[in-house]
């Protein structure tokens, strides 16, 4: 079984890692487009065009399924990608539902493009229980992308909006790298959609490909391959 992942940059590596832990038997290919980060500050049209380009390459891999490890791309064009390509495509969405169920006032932090998107608006309307607020974090994804080997807590805090929250939802996969600092700034629980997304991919692919032979190979394609591989190595060593 082959799963292809896509994020603009390093953000999706956390989801890749979670999926690799759950499905060590699967062959995984991680696609990125680091040179064009931040996708979350581009126009919808530009995001669509860049993403379609990458998905043409993903299609050449003949994957069993693809995972959009990017909230921005999921919000802007997951539906179009599903109509265009013959393989199954999973997306990631902010964990609004579990957060609003448990916490009072919730804050969703997202890229400007995700924050303004219709899918997030609908999600918040349906599951936010009227107490969920969305705020864009201009600059945070690119700060993390550029400084991943040298992140500075006060620089990150400068990019986080002030808000009194009982629960914070990560609306961008890059933010997982500074989850602890986010939890400490707002003094509350932080909800990340990666675990639920990985569980969903695992459950569905196990049902669709019950007897796939063992592969367990992870490769990196597109963008800054060496850097993405190094960051993945860091995640592995941190968690082992
Ligand atoms: N990691 C992407 C997301 O989850 C966005 C990063 C970017 O703006 O490129 O939204």
Secondary structure of 25-55 in HEC code, one letter for each residue: CCEEEEEECHHHCCHHHCCHHHHHHHHHHHH
Q: Are 69 and 20 in contact (CB under 8 A)?
A: no
CA 117 to centroid of ligand 1, rounded, Å: 13
Residue 239 has pLDDT above 90, yes or no: no
Torsion of CA 153, 157, 158, 162, to 10 degrees: -170
Cα(214) to ligand 1 centroid in Å equals 31
Mean pLDDT of 51-60: 98
Residue 20's closest CA among 217, 208, 233? 217
Using 50, 70 and 90 to split pLDDT, how confident is the model at 207? confident
Closest residue (by CA) to atom 7 of ligand 1?
38
| Answer CATH for 2-92+194-239 from 3.40.30.10, 3.40.720.10, 3.40.50.1860, 2.70.70.10 | 3.40.50.1860
The pLDDT score that the predictor gives to residue 19 is: 96
High-pLDDT (> 90) share of the chain, %: 92
Residues with CB under 6 A from ligand 1: 7-9, 11, 37-40, 70-72, 111, 114, 141, 172-174
Contact yes or no for 111/128 (Cβ under 8 A): no
CB 90 within 8 A of CB 58: no
Nearest alpha carbon to residue 91 among 102, 79, 101, 83: 79
Q: Are 168 and 102 in contact (CB under 8 A)?
A: no
Of ligand 1's listed atoms, the one at least distance from the Cα of 11 is: 1
CA of 10 to the centre of ligand 1 (A): 9
The 3-state DSSP class for residue 211 equals coil
Say whether 70 is catalytic: yes
User: 96-191: which CATH number, 3.30.1370.60, 3.40.50.1860, 3.10.20.30, 3.40.50.2300?
Assistant: 3.40.50.1860
- E strand segments, the chain: 2-7, 27-32, 65-68, 88-90, 106-110, 132-136, 167-171, 189-191, 218-221
**What is the Cα–Cα distance from 9 to 240, expressed in whole angstroms?**
23
Q: What's the mean pLDDT in 211-238?
A: 90
Per annotation, catalytic residue among 4, 103, 106, 172: 172
Q: How far is the CA of 135 from the centre of ligand 1 (A)?
A: 15
Active-site residue identified among 70, 77, 103, 188: 70
The residue extents of the domains of the chain are 2-92+194-239, 96-191
96-191 shares the fold of 2-92+194-239: yes
Q: With bands split at pLDDT 50, 70 and 90, how would you rate the model's confidence at 240?
A: confident
Q: What is the pLDDT of residue 215?
A: 74
Report residue 26's pLDDT band, with 50, 70 and 90 as the boundaries. very high
């Amino acid at each position: 079984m082959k799963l292809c992942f896509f994020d603009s940059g390093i953000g999706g590596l956390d989801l890749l890692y979670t999926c690799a832990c759950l499905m060590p038997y699967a062959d995984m290919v991680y696609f990125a487009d680091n040179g064009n980060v931040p996708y979350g500050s581009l126009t919808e049209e530009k995001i669509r065009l860049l993403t379609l380009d990458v998905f043409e390459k993903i299609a050449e891999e003949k994957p069993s399924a693809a995972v959009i490890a990017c909230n921005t791309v999921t919000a802007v064009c997951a539906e179009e990608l599903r109509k265009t390509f013959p393989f199954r495509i999973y997306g990631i969405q902010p964990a609004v539902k579990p957060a609003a169920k448990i916490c009072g006032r919730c804050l969703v932090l997202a890229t400007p493009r995700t924050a303004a998107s219709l899918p997030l608006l609908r999600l918040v309307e349906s599951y936010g229980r009227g107490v969920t607020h969305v705020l864009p974090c201009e600059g945070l994804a690119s700060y993390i992308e550029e400084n991943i080997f040298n992140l500075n807590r006060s620089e990150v805090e400068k990019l986080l909006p002030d808000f009194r929250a009982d629960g914070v939802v990560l609306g961008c996969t890059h933010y997982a790298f500074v989850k602890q600092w986010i939890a400490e700034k707002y003094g509350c629980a932080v909800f990340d959609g990666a675990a639920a997304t990985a569980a969903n991919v695992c459950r569905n692919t196990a049902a669709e490909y019950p007897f796939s032979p063992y592969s367990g190979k992870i490769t990196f394609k597109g963008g800054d391959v060496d850097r993405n591989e190094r960051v993945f190595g860091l995640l592995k060593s941190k968690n082992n």
